[in-house]
Structure 1
Amino acid sequence: MKTMPSRIIAVKDEGKDRRTITILNKEVAEKAHPGQFIMVWIPGVDEIPMGISHIGREEISFTVHRIGEATNALYNKKVNEYIGVRGPYGRGFEEVNGKIIAIGGGTGIAPLMPLIRRLCEKSGNNVTVINGAKNVDEMIFKEELNELARLGKIRYMPATEDGSLGYKGLATTLLEETLKSGEIPNEIYVCGPEAMIKRVLEIALEKGLHIQASVERYMKCAIGICGSCTMDPIGVRVCVEGPVIPLETLAKITELGAYKRDSSGRKIKI
């Protein structure tokens, strides 16, 4: 796919060092599905993958956490500036109706948002959203999720490690407590740090539940050629077979939560 110049039409602060950037790109908006990602080119800096956090008719959004040179440059972009975009890429979420739990950790809630918005609009669905962060300042999308809860469209359960908002503790612990109440979801969707995804996988396997997890890996080509995002031992290409990976495949990936690779392919312990 070609890189398309895309104009920034909105920038919104979501939390400490986190912003949602909205761009005008009808071609991507018409093709995108919840869970897919785009490659974003910051001129003169780098090209990086970004999960899509909003899908509109002519616009899409992504949420950036500034932690390095590329994300810092992207974070500082202003309305009416241009960036390059190609995509959408990858496997998105398969929609399951019924009782649903979506659990996000940190900026991991962002790729879940298009799915949450879609599922909560369907009659008969019962959607619970667990949103975890270290503290209230780092929790994103809390205003929108609070509003959806106020309208009765979702059950919203924030969790912070320091107790500054909602449940005090890990989002995965809150998930375990929720399941202990006897609630049996038809599907669990998860995105966040790999230790969190691994724990959700363990819980699902213990209780006989099904999950879909959105996994993040270093990417270069985004089309399955370079191999930089493959995961051991079965060679899953996150950019093609993912980033959304179902339980059946996820359970076979031994590197999940153990290590990842840098730009040169070296293993880095998580």
Structure 2
Amino acid sequence: MQRNSDILNVVKIEKIIDETPTVRTLLFSDEILSKVLPGQFAMVWIPGINELPMSVMISTEKGKAAFTVRKHGYASTELYSMKVGDQIGVRGPYGNSFTLKQGRLLLVGGGTGLVPLVRLLTFLNKSDDVTLVMGAKTKDEVFFEGLANKLLEKNKHKVIVVTEDGTYGQKGLVTDALENLVKETKFDAVYTCGPEKMMHKVVQLATA
């Protein structure tokens, strides 16, 4: 599914969900972006500021899409600070989607890298055995755990939360938890999204 990348679609922010003290999800109406494949992204234009590439978050409402943004750099902080009724521009979708596999699946994500993995959950078969490992710095920065469990309620599944300071779930990095998982279990496919160093380590462990 693609639209002319030269055409900017201006949308209005209709709802804002505070996920953590530094992460928000902004919902808007866009029929095309509501149906993107897991792994695809859109370009988001923040008027007068900049344009950012962002994964598209799922919405339970038909025809709705969303962006989950962390207050970090200048442009992302401006997007985070927008209010209901404010307008942004979107282009896309772009990029390739994940190759969908069946069987015993491992998903590893950190921060807003969880967004395409959450969308991936909605494309899996109910017969898939899914393990999702999600990482955050501290308990206050954990998000999408409840949503992931809800999306996987008909699957055999396990959601493992890892925090760097140990205030919730396992203590350490997601890759620490991954080391034991790949030793104990043979997975049919591994999906990952997040910080580059984390993804590099995931690939190393998964292919060792």
Could you say whether these structures have the same fold, taking a TM-score greater than 0.5 normalized by the shorter chain as the test? yes
The residue correspondences of 1:216-255 to structure 2 (distance < 5 A) are: none
The residue correspondences of 1:21-36 to structure 2 (distance < 5 A) are: 21-30=26-35, 32-36=36-40
Hey, what does 1:204 align to over in structure 2? 206
Matched, 1:135 2:138: yes
2:10 to 1, 5, 13: 5
Which structure has the higher relative contact order (CA within 8 Å, separation 6+)?
A: 2
CA apart distance, 1:123: 2.6
- What amino acid is aligned across from residue 12 of structure 2 in structure 1? R
State the TM-score, normalized to the length of structure 2: 0.91
Hey, what does 2:180 align to over in structure 1? 177
**Cα deviation per residue 1:89-136 (whole Å; 9 max; x = unaligned)?**
0111111111101000122112211002321xx231111100011111
Structure 2, unaligned stretches of length 5 or more? none
Structure 1, unaligned stretches of length 5 or more? 207-270
- What amino acid is aligned across from residue 132 of structure 2 in structure 1? V
For 1:166 and 1:62, locate their aligned partners in 2 and report how far apart those are by CA, in whole Å. Answer: 26
CA apart distance, 1:147: 3.6
State the TM-score, normalized to the length of structure 1: 0.71
1:105 to 88, 102, 110: 110
CA apart distance, 1:152: 5.2
Identity %: 38
For 2:158 and 2:29, locate their aligned partners in 1 and report how far apart those are by CA, in whole Å. Answer: 31
- What amino acid is aligned across from residue 189 of structure 2 in structure 1? E
CA apart distance, 1:78: 1.6
For 1:198 and 1:98, locate their aligned partners in 2 and report how far apart those are by CA, in whole Å. Answer: 23
CA apart distance, 1:205: 2.1
Hey, what does 2:160 align to over in structure 1? 157
> Cα RMSD (Å) of the superposition?
1.6
| Runs of 4+ residues deviating >6 angstroms | none
CA apart distance, 1:15: 1.3
Matched, 1:118 2:120: no
